[in-house]
DNA sequence: CTGGATCCCTCACGATACTG
DNA sequence: CAGTATCGTGAGGGATCCAG
């Protein structure tokens, strides 16, 4: 394995040698949501060849961005998780995500939306300075994908799964509809139809204030 | 030109399709310092094949990250510059630069340091919250490379070239010595020798407060 | 079934030469 | 100076296979 370098003694070049290879930052994106097994990563990155996933994980492990951990009995399985150094990529990933979201066109016929990409989209659209005031919670149902969003004490918590008792449930037919809607705080999406709301409709305005590109 | 995609409808995936290709972010790094001609970019990215540079510029232009501009007569030459959208990558580039700098080892025998990479390193080490107080200015002479640093009104200005009247001139034999030294505010580097100072030595402490990883 | 390794093919990248 | 043309190599893509 001959390292592919840029021939520059430079922080950015170094960073790109670590996480600039194809698929690497998408792996980091999914691991930022939580530790995952090989197969979980494979499912979240549908089009990645397994040898590439395997190679990336080894490289990221070698660079101490990712740690391979064997779960204690009885699970005994293997999970990959970010090291502290790897976790410090969060800001970069969220900023890149927001930057790219702005020119995200229509989804291609084969484009998928995964749970982790939706969670990342919500996190990247978060504006802490608008998150003061009373706590609020949402449940987002986008096709098969269900996540919940809790804003409390100016902080954000987004994770997979339903949230019984959420202040507002926002539901779209497909994940692809939800994605641009997160970027506009669902304002346009609701006006344009195709979004169903259950709960306190006033919380939608609040969502738009807290989340937008 | 068949676009190489990730098959995901996701802001991060979109961003990586634009600036995730090899060399792309290094081109952006150099253009963040200022508009450049093809040959300037080629010199700053010594190891890039010209056809790859050519291809990247076309792709970045197509994605409206870079604009190709013909200078008015009599120059008549062509420069590449970032669009506003491209300029919004600054934070990402600086954060990645700082992230990578922390694990930047010894320079390889063929590794080079360019003016733009040094300017980027200084900018990425800047801590605005420590930049209050009276204005200060520095001249950094690292081998052949000479840049100047002006901190005024809490803002930073870094550019190529000397600065007559700079409060402190910091000089190292090679650019590679300067790079880690920027990350530690030159504190260790001066103690370890190999750094010459001309001017007010008290300004060195100030430098270390304002610039570090 | 998870967690990969192996194989083969293609195409992007890298090196170099060359042209308007 | 500002690229284009050509060509070899190796990384990525896709499918399959294998061990625990």
Copy the structure tokens of residue B171: 């000089």
DSSP element (H, E) containing A170: strand A168-172
Round to whole Å and give the CA distance between B69 and B191: 47
Interchain CB distance below 8 Å, A18 and B114: no
Length of chain A: 213
Model confidence, pTM: 0.95
CB proximity under 8 Å: B 37-66 to A: 45-47, 63-64
Sort out which chain B residues have CB atoms less than 8 A from A6's CB and list them. Answer: 23, 26, 45, 47
Phi, psi of B178 (to 5 degrees): -70, -35
> How does pLDDT run across A164-182, given as a tens digit for each residue?
999 999 999 999 999 989 9
Interchain CB distance below 8 Å, A99 and B117: no
Sort out which chain A residues have CB atoms less than 8 A from B29's CB and list them. Answer: 12
Q: Give the Cβ contact number of residue A23 at 10 Å.
A: 20
Using the 8-state DSSP alphabet, how is residue A36 labeled? B
- CB of B110 less than 8 A from some CB of A: yes
Tell me the Cα Rg of chain B. Answer: 19
Round to whole Å and give the CA distance between A65 and A83: 5
From the list B150, B146, B94, B157, the residue with the least C-alpha distance to B120 is B94
Round to whole Å and give the CA distance between B176 and B174: 5
> How does pLDDT run across B153-198, given as a tens digit for each residue?
999 999 999 999 999 999 999 999 999 899 988 888 888 888 999 9
Within chain A, which residues score under 50 in pLDDT? 1
A117 three-class SS: helix
- pLDDT for A41 equals 96
Given a contact cutoff of 8 angstroms between Cβ atoms, the answer to whether B90 and B32 are in contact is yes
Sort out which chain B residues have CB atoms less than 8 A from A88's CB and list them. Answer: 99
From the list B14, B9, B5, the residue with the least C-alpha distance to A180 is B9
Interchain CB distance below 8 Å, B10 and A179: yes
A19 three-class SS: helix
- CB of B84 less than 8 A from some CB of A: no
- CB of A15 less than 8 A from some CB of B: yes
**CA–C1' gap, B94 and D4, in angstroms:** 34
Copy the structure tokens of residue B139: 């001249």
- pLDDT for A12 equals 98
Q: Which region among B33-42, B100-109, B155-164 has the lowest average model confidence (pLDDT)?
A: B100-109
- pLDDT for B69 equals 96
Given a contact cutoff of 8 angstroms between Cβ atoms, the answer to whether B40 and B27 are in contact is no
Copy the structure tokens of residue A108: 């291609």
């Amino acid at each position: 394995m001959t390292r592919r370098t840029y021939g520059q003694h430079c922080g950015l070049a170094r960073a790109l040698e670590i996480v600039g290879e194809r698929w690497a930052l998408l792996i980091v994106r999914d691991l930022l949501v939580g530790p995952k097994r090989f197969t979980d990563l494979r499912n979240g990155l549908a089009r990645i060849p397994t040898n590439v996933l395997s190679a990336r994980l080894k490289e990221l492990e070698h660079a101490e961005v990712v740690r391979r951990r064997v779960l204690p009995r009885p699970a005994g399985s293997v999970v990959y998780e970010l090291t502290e150094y790897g976790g410090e990529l969060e800001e970069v990933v969220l900023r890149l995500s927001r930057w790219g979201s702005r020119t995200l066109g229509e989804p291609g016929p084969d484009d998928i939306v995964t749970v982790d990409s939706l969670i990342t989209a919500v996190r990247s659209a978060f504006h802490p300075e608008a998150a003061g005031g009373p706590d609020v919670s949402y449940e987002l149902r986008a096709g098969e994908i269900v996540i919940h969003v809790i804003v409390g004490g100016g902080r954000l918590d987004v994770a997979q799964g339903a949230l019984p008792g959420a202040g507002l449930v926002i539901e779209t037919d497909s994940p692809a509809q939800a994605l641009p809607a997160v970027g506009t705080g669902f304002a346009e999406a609701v006006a344009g139809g195709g979004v169903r709301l259950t709960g306190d409709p006033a919380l939608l305005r609040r969502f738009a204030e807290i989340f937008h590109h």
